Amino acid sequence: MKLGSGYKIVKLANGVHSVHSLAHRETFHPVIGPAAEAEALYVKQIQLVERLSHHTGEFVIWDVGLGAAANALTILRSTREIPSLIRLVSFDHTIEPLEFALQHKQALGYFDGYELPLEQLLIHRRVSFQNSRQTVDWELQLADFPTSITQHDAQKLPEPHVIMFDAFSPAKNPAMWTQPLFANLFQLLDPARPCALPTYSRSTMLRVTLLLAGFFVGVGHATGEKEETTIAANTFGLINEPLDRKWLQRACKSTSAEPLWEPAYRQSPLSPATREKLEQHPQFR
């Protein structure tokens, strides 16, 4: 165990190391480790290599929750042999976990070859570099994400093809999981640009939240001990295993299904109004 200002390096059950936030009392990628979880969630699940191979022009990825950069670096390492132009936009309210992780890069093991671009990103908030056969334009939006996406400048952000959503859990960071946040996020998408949003949670509350925001929602791939995750998209064609009416029936019986309408964590069953809106979602017709 290595301590740092607000963070420490911890060894997971499988021997891989990760970063632990002392303030939130949560470990980044706690199940199978940073690189393995990122590959399962954000590379294999959305068939990113195949999708990028058939893409022309700029491919935009939003990295919501830069953290210690494991998700972003796994994406770049997994796709670097594909001739492509990646525009990566990372969001976070602090650079402290990344700074700490770089100090312990040997223990973490996923930084090799990307130290210089990350150092430039931390200094200038933007960096462009050649990633083998891939050209990368990477920018960092350092701000409070729920607030920033409601500002006028959010309209200037490039519309994403993929959103990696990796915030601390709703119990520890409820502001990042509210229904208004996902509704605002959905409004920033280009309806003509298919966009997938995978995330680690499988909670009924989250899935209801995404559906009410306008997304189509499906069962996501397992990652280590997690039997399911969640994938959402603005087009039904990106969902391989969509939630069906049987899931909807279970959601209606759940004691923790109503979305968080405010940034305060609580659990409650669906309200009659929410249930009616779910019934009307195109996914269940």
Contact (Cβ atoms closer than 8 angstroms) between residue 93 and residue 145: yes
Q: Answer whether residue 9 is part of any domain.
A: no
Q: Answer whether residue 176 is part of any domain.
A: yes
Q: Answer whether residue 141 is part of any domain.
A: yes
pLDDT at residue number 33: 80
- Among positive and negative, which fits the CA dihedral 49, 53, 54, 57? positive
Indicate the burial class of 275 (C-beta count within 10 angstroms; 0-12, 13-18, 19 or more).
middle
Q: What CATH number corresponds to the domain at position 67?
A: 3.40.50.150
Beta-carbon contacts of 163 under 8 Å, excluding residues fewer than 6 positions away, are 61, 62, 64, 185, 195, 196, 197
Under the banding of pLDDT at 50, 70 and 90, the label for residue 216 is very high
Q: What is the pLDDT of residues 110-163, one digit of tens each?
A: 999 999 999 999 999 999 999 999 999 999 999 999 999 999 999 999 999 999
pLDDT at residue number 73: 97
Domain count, the chain: 1
Q: Answer whether residue 19 is part of any domain.
A: no
Q: Answer whether residue 239 is part of any domain.
A: yes
Tell me the backbone φ, ψ of residue 168, rounded to 5 degrees.
-60, 160
Rg (CA), the chain: 18
Contact (Cβ atoms closer than 8 angstroms) between residue 150 and residue 184: yes
Is residue 90 within a helix (H) or strand (E), and if so which, with residue range?
strand 84-92
> Rounded CA gap, 245 and 251, in Å?
9
Greatest mean pLDDT range, 4-13, 23-32, 178-187, 215-224 = 178-187
CA separation (Å) from 187 to 10, 48, 182, 234?
Answer: 38, 23, 9, 10
Q: Answer whether residue 48 is part of any domain.
A: yes
Beta-carbon contacts of 265 under 8 Å, excluding residues fewer than 6 positions away, are 170, 171, 174
> Rounded CA gap, 36 and 220, in Å?
15
CA separation (Å) from 97 to 30, 70, 197, 259?
Answer: 15, 11, 23, 29
Q: Which tokens go with 240?
A: 């391989």
> Rounded CA gap, 154 and 253, in Å?
37
pLDDT at residue number 13: 82
For residue 80, what are the domain limits?
32-284
